[in-house]
Amino acid sequence: MHITEIILKKRNGKALGRGEIDYFIDGYCRGDIADYQASALLMAIWFNKMDRRETTDLTLAMRDSGDVIDLSGISGIKVDKHSTGGVADTTSLVTIPLVAACGGRVAKMSGRGLGHTGGTLDKLESIPGLSVSQGMADFHRIVSDCGWSIIGQTADLVPADKKLYALRSVTGTVDNNSLIAASIMSKKLASGADAIVLDVKTGNGAFIQHATDAEELAKLMVDIGEETGRRTIALISDMSQPLGNAVGNALEVREAIEILQGKHEGDLKTVALALAAEMLGVSGLVADTAEAHEKLTAALTSGVALQRLADMIQLQGGDPDVCRNTGILPQAGDVMEITSDTDGYVHSMMTDEIGNCALLLGAGRLAKDDPIDPAVGLWMRVRLGDRVSAGDVLADFHVNQRKNLAEATSRFKKAVGIGPEPGTSPDLIHGRVTGGD
């Protein structure tokens, strides 16, 4: 077997066998296959696609390229959640404490943000003292004690994905559903959960902008999960405007806490509750959606979910008082109101561009090692369809450095479309995909 033969086979539109896929992943991870050869195969896959069997085989080969976490020492069914990424998507910090408050077990390994989408680890690290670097024994203990934990991925978790994603990002091969599915599901399978709930985003703030592509990806990932013995479901949710109000790390933590305090309604809370209901369902803790929402409402109104958040923060070295006083979170030196120049209705938002505005203020990173400022970002004051007058506040910019402020302001005003007619908000949940769909 030789990599050139494998490249030619895929270039000619033929399906690769499991042995060929294993040979490629193993050889590339060991350095026996060069980047230029891997790039050629990735491009052949991009053009000729992979069928479901090939995609599953690629997922398993990537999973087995490093450590596979054993969570059997934690009692109960362990459920994981994954979002394909968006703007103001803080669902994990609302959803997972709610699930834990209802008896669920969530042992989650997460990644950092890159580009216009925020990373859960970056958000958590804006909480004073909290560490996302926990050993496996401590990780198990924290989940057993309070029902959940989120930590950074170990260095040896799916090393094939780290190498392949870096290559895909510079060879124009990111947007292929088989490669996306294998990247996501290899990490989910290696993380050891018994059940998986996926939040597949679609819209102009998502990596997958067309609903049909998002549905295809959701079905592919659900099938992989089910074929490997994990109860898996996916929701397809909308990202045609920021999901929450806050875009920026400490700001998003503040919004999540305030939702758990009962201070906010809106799309972020709605999607978080929908995901939490699915997580309870795949964990076998409820008979149906109605029972799930009854339990989740009780956990929210009683304050138990907020306490679960405080418990996790304390167990991971952070200050749990942040759940009573969000003023403990990092604060920007200045808050600037960005106002409308015209009268009209908010008819559209360039959601990815709004995320880029927060990035310009210092809330995100373009390269994986870029520093971020946890205090900065923006807080949206309008939603699609809102009536505004000239001078009304569209957003508050939380600012420390003014280097990119003028550019961020200009780009934000262009990103929020205001016209004579109100726009229509798409359905928040586009669909639900289960095994066999």
Asked: is 79-325+430-434 a CATH 3.40.1030.10 domain? The reply is yes
Domain boundaries, the chain: 3-48, 79-325+430-434, 332-419
Mean pLDDT (the chain) is 94
- Of 10, 163, 168, 295, the active-site residue reads 168
pLDDT at 424: 80
Query: Cα separation of 192 and 183, whole Å?
Result: 15
Instruction: Specify whether 430 is catalytic.
Output: no
pLDDT at 113: 57
Quote the distance between the C-alpha of residue 192 and its chain's center. 18
pLDDT at 175: 85
- Of 83, 92, 178, 183, the active-site residue reads 183
**Residue 390 CB burial class (10 angstroms; 0-12, 13-18, ≥19):** exposed
Region 263-268: mean pLDDT is 95
Q: Which amino acid is at 219?
A: K
Residue-wise pLDDT for 209-245, tens only, equals 889 999 999 999 999 999 999 999 999 999 999 999 9
pTM of full prediction above 0.85:
yes
pLDDT at 219: 97
Distances (CA, A) of 424 to 24, 43, 386, 409, 436: 47, 38, 10, 25, 32
Asked: is 3-48 a CATH 3.50.50.60 domain? The reply is no
Q: Which of 146, 112, 105 is nearest to 318 (CA)?
A: 146
CA-based end-to-end distance of the chain: 37
Query: Cα separation of 130 and 422, whole Å?
Result: 43
Query: Cα separation of 418 and 363, whole Å?
Result: 26
In the DSSP assignment, the letter for residue 361 is I
Q: Which of 317, 400, 333, 309 is nearest to 363 (CA)?
A: 400
Instruction: Specify whether 175 is catalytic.
Output: no
Quote the distance between the C-alpha of residue 332 and its chain's center. 25
Instruction: Specify whether 352 is catalytic.
Output: no
Query: Cα separation of 245 and 213, whole Å?
Result: 27
Query: Cα separation of 35 and 420, whole Å?
Result: 52
Instruction: Specify whether 14 is catalytic.
Output: no
Asked whether 217 and 208 are in contact (CB, 8 A), the reply is yes
Query: Cα separation of 341 and 67, whole Å?
Result: 54
Q: What would the CATH number be for the domain defined by 332-419?
A: 3.90.1170.30
Residue-wise pLDDT for 99-123, tens only, equals 999 999 999 998 765 555 568 999 9
Query: Cα separation of 337 and 347, whole Å?
Result: 20
Residue-wise pLDDT for 18-65, tens only, equals 999 999 999 999 999 999 999 999 999 999 999 999 999 999 999 999
- Of 80, 122, 161, 396, the active-site residue reads 161
Instruction: Specify whether 161 is catalytic.
Output: yes
